Amino acid sequence: MCFLTFNFDKLTASELNPTLIGFYNDEELVKAKEILLKTVLKVLQDMDRANDVPRLPKRTADNKGKQNADDLLRLFSIIDKQKLSSSLPVFSTVDLLRIPFPNQDSIKLVSMARKMETFEQRLQDMEKCYIRQACESVELAVLPERGRTSVTATRVTVLCMLIVLFC
């Protein structure tokens, strides 16, 4: 829990989850979940909001490590959304070797992938805008005032809509 407390606001769940599953065994994840759940329930009961915590069942499936890690992250999301961190005890560790260090290269890679995704989205938006403007220019050039029939203008409009749709 010390690891999650320190890293929850710095890393995404998709970055934290593999670290939790890869570093901690199932028993450690179950114990951490039990302690955190009891602590969060007590804090919320003191605030008369105990119903704000979802039911987190005891995991027995083959992938219970992943499910327990997901449950821990869900509890930390509740703590974050309801601003409960100042009401919780400070979680610490006796053995610093039991705190994983997220791989900085993977964090940089994820950050770079996010930037690339944002860049691709912006590029797509720009392409659509450019195509839309080009189609509007073509439609203006083919208006019936220039001696074209309205059927030609309609065909150009449909063609432009198809281009925008498939780009």
Q: Could you read off the pLDDT of 114-133 as tens digits, one per residue?
A: 788 889 999 888 888 877 77
DSSP string, 60-101: -STTHHHHHHHHHHHHHHHHHHTT-GGGSPPP--S-GGGS--
Sign of CA dihedral 19, 22, 24, 30: positive
pLDDT of residue 157: 65
Residue with tokens 């599953």: 21
> Could you tell me which of 85, 79, 31 has the C-alpha nearest to residue 52?
79
pLDDT in tens, 74-112: 999 988 888 888 888 888 888 888 888 776 666 666 667
Q: Please state, in angstroms and rounded to a whole number, the distance separating the CA atoms of residues 162 and 143.
A: 19
Q: Indicate the pLDDT class of residue 73, thresholds 50, 70 and 90.
A: very high
The end-to-end CA distance of the chain, in Å, is 47
Ranges of each domain in the chain: 2-102, 110-166
Token duo for residue 151:
């059927």
Per-residue pLDDT, 1: 75
Q: Rounded to 5 degrees, what angle do the CA atoms 91, 97, 98 make?
A: 50
pLDDT tens figures, 10-45: 888 888 888 888 888 888 999 999 999 899 888 888
Angle at 33 (CA atoms; ends 30, 38), nearest 5 degrees: 130
Higher pLDDT: 84 or 61? It is: 84
